[in-house]
Structure 1
Amino acid sequence: MRPPPLWLPSLLLCGLGAAVSLPDPLSQLAAPLNPKLHLYNDEQILTWEPSPSSNDTRPVVYQVEYRYVDGTWRSLQCTDIAETKCDFTEGDPLKGPLSRLLSVFLRVQAKRGNRTSDWVNLDPFLHYENVTVGPPKNISVTPGKGSLIIHFSPPFNVGGGATFQYLVHYWEKTGTQQVKGPCKSNSIVLDDLKPFRIYCLQTEAQLILKNKNIRPGGLLSNVSCHETTADASTRLQQLILIPVSIFALLLVLTGACFILFLKYQSRVKYWFQAPPNIPEEIKEYLKDPDQFILEALDKDSSPKDDSWDSVSIISSPEKDRGCVPNTMN
């Protein structure tokens, strides 16, 4: 039997080395799924779904990186985190907050031990261009003389290159909606309103960028309703109108009563005449019928009524005519 060639062991070793250097298909970890970016006011939050599970019981951690256009990838504060959310509202604490005027690129990767997944890249975003603007904060309404004064603060703080303007949507409780604004100040006065009326309103903030590009309107605040007060002239009119109205009402009532009295005069007299009264003597007689009524009347009559001073007899002139009085005995 012929011995094997000397070059065969070397060939076998080379083949073994090539086999050892082949990549392990299980070394590649599954990447995170469905990354989503949440931009509301100053909030910047990236969320994703976890990597598919496997037989490996070791925990999976994630890391997030960012970069600007033509920049290098840098780590955020979300490095080796177990949760599937990265809140970078305040940006990288070592490098400061992310710029809201420049386009930002993000990517996320899963890691388990020495195994890592592919990077999952998101589309670039510019915060001020993509953010959802909420309603103004700290809204307060002060009723005025036929007006409403609305005070508020911006939805979030903005740096150079951006500012806010505000609008107020208002309507009488049963009327049509109107809009006041836009105004750049943090207070708006709704004047020329009717006194003692209820008005409902909503406020809105709009973001204006450095290039004078106005973002679409933000979210409206909750509806609140308020009643206006009266101005000085209206109050004076009320002070005059109330007594005049009362006086006019009294005149109308008096006139109506007088007309009714004239129309039903006899009936009114009948209603208001005093009932017949029985004299006291008759009452006494009815109590004691045996007593003679004339004696009772004489007994109760006043002496002055039955007394006299003198009685004179006057003769008729016809009987004395033609007679001479006897002056002698």
Structure 2
Amino acid sequence: MRPLPLWLLSLLLCGLGAAASSPDSSSQLSAPQNPKLHLYNDEQTLTWEPSPSSDDTRPVVYQVEYSYIDGSWYRLLRPNCTDITETKCDLTGGGRLKIFPHSFKVFLRVRAKRENLTSEWVRLEPFQHYENVTVGPPKNISVTPGKGSLIIHFSPPFDVFHGATFQYLVHYWEKSGTRQVEGPFKSNSIVLGNLKPFRVYCLQTEAQLILKNKNIQPHGLLSNVSCHETTADASTRLQQVTLIPLGIFTLLLVLTGACFILFLKYQSRVKYWFQAPPNIPEQIKEYLKDPDQFILEALDKDSSPKEDSWDSVSIISSPEKERDDVLHTP
């Protein structure tokens, strides 16, 4: 084998050196960091942290691709996910047709790009919406107080398809009482019965996602606390109509008996308290009206002559005189 000419060897060495000094385009840009997928009800949002800053002032954009089980990658041709400067990609579709069917397993990856330079792809763990979603509380909750009950109406947290459904739990408690749980219920109209009338009950509702041929998903989020007062049924109202007058009559009877016993015990004092005040004689009243008039004259003037006057007094005989006459008779 003939040795290579010197000029050819030098050319090859220069080419290798140039290739070594020119890094691959995929490693010229730093990759995005900490990608996260947010799944809440119908929402699907991919977020990440930007690539580390460099001296290059040219703008950096990001690209998102997805794949199913077959392993082929497809670019998300959406305005908010293709060559974007934001570090967020909204994957939520509108209407009944979603970008990713909720029952499919989806793979995602994201990379940074600056003109003709790109970073390495950063891949996320595969997800299936129904398997990984956080279920929020039921929506449009309304509560109507009933006769010893609460009637609850609501709508599901989001629409489900492909063999998925919801079941519901109601957490309730009397104010300052112990929390209780009723359910699960399949309907979104629930009657919470056997409650005490005229009592205030607080409640929260919860939705659980059930997948076909699979276990129930973890508990969903609870709704806000709302408190409501129950009403009375017909029998309770009848009892109130009967018991209230009876209670008033009994109370009056007890008070009357107590007053009678006190009267007997303190009879003398009661008579003293209720006796009529002393009256001033009429003569004194006249004198007080005219102090210049002599009191004795006023008294004589008002006295009746029939009571203290006699025409004459005569003594016919006395027992002593008759006795003396008998003794001196010869």
Indicate the TM-score class for this superposition, using the shorter chain for normalisation: 0.7 to 0.9
Identity among equivalent positions (%) equals 74
Deviates further, 263-272 or 112-121:
263-272
The yes-or-no answer on 1:52 pairing with 2:52 is yes
Instruction: Give the counterpart of 1:297 among 302, 307, 314.
Output: 302
Partner Cα distance (1:35, 1:132) in 2: 18
Partner Cα distance (2:152, 2:45) in 1: 32
Deviations for 1:255-280, whole angstroms, at most 9, x for unmatched residues?
11111112221221111111111221
Q: Could you tell me which runs of 5 or more consecutive residues in structure 2 were left unpaired when the two chains were aligned.
A: 317-330
Cα offset for 1:21? 5.2
1:188 counterpart letter in structure 2: I
Instruction: Give the counterpart of 2:203 among 178, 198, 201.
Output: 201
Q: Please name the residue that 1:89 is paired with.
A: 92
User: 3-state SS of the aligned residue for 1:25?
Assistant: coil
2:226 counterpart letter in structure 1: S
Deviations for 1:93-119, whole angstroms, at most 9, x for unmatched residues?
9x9521110100001011001011111
Q: Please name the residue that 1:32 is paired with.
A: 32
Q: TM-score, normalised by structure 2?
A: 0.82
- 8 Å CA contact 1:169–1:177 kept in 2: the answer is yes
Q: Please name the residue that 1:79 is paired with.
A: 82
Do the aligned partners of residues 288 and 46 (structure 1) sit closer, same or farther apart at CA in structure 2, a change above 3 Å counting? same
Q: Please name the residue that 1:188 is paired with.
A: 190
Runs of 4+ in 1 over 4 A off after TM superposition: 5-23
1:41 counterpart letter in structure 2: N
Deviates further, 77-86 or 205-214:
205-214
2:37 counterpart letter in structure 1: L
Deviates further, 30-39 or 6-15:
6-15
- 8 Å CA contact 1:281–1:296 kept in 2: the answer is no
Which runs of structure 2 are paired with 1:277-316 in the superposition (5 Å)? 277-285=279-287, 287-290=291-294, 292-297=297-302
2:69 counterpart letter in structure 1: V
User: 3-state SS of the aligned residue for 2:264?
Assistant: helix
Cα offset for 1:237? 1.4
Q: Please name the residue that 1:327 is paired with.
A: none
- 8 Å CA contact 2:103–2:162 kept in 1: the answer is no
Cα offset for 1:18? 5.0
Q: Could you tell me which runs of 5 or more consecutive residues in structure 1 were left unpaired when the two chains were aligned.
A: 317-329
Instruction: Give the counterpart of 2:139 among 137, 140, 157.
Output: 137
Q: TM-score, normalised by structure 1?
A: 0.82
Deviations for 1:214-240, whole angstroms, at most 9, x for unmatched residues?
111111122222221111211121122
Which runs of structure 2 are paired with 1:127-276 in the superposition (5 Å)? 127-276=129-278
- 8 Å CA contact 1:162–1:210 kept in 2: the answer is yes
Do the aligned partners of residues 296 and 43 (structure 1) sit closer, same or farther apart at CA in structure 2, a change above 3 Å counting? same
1:296 counterpart letter in structure 2: K
Q: Please name the residue that 1:325 is paired with.
A: none
2:36 counterpart letter in structure 1: K
Q: Please name the residue that 2:323 is paired with.
A: none
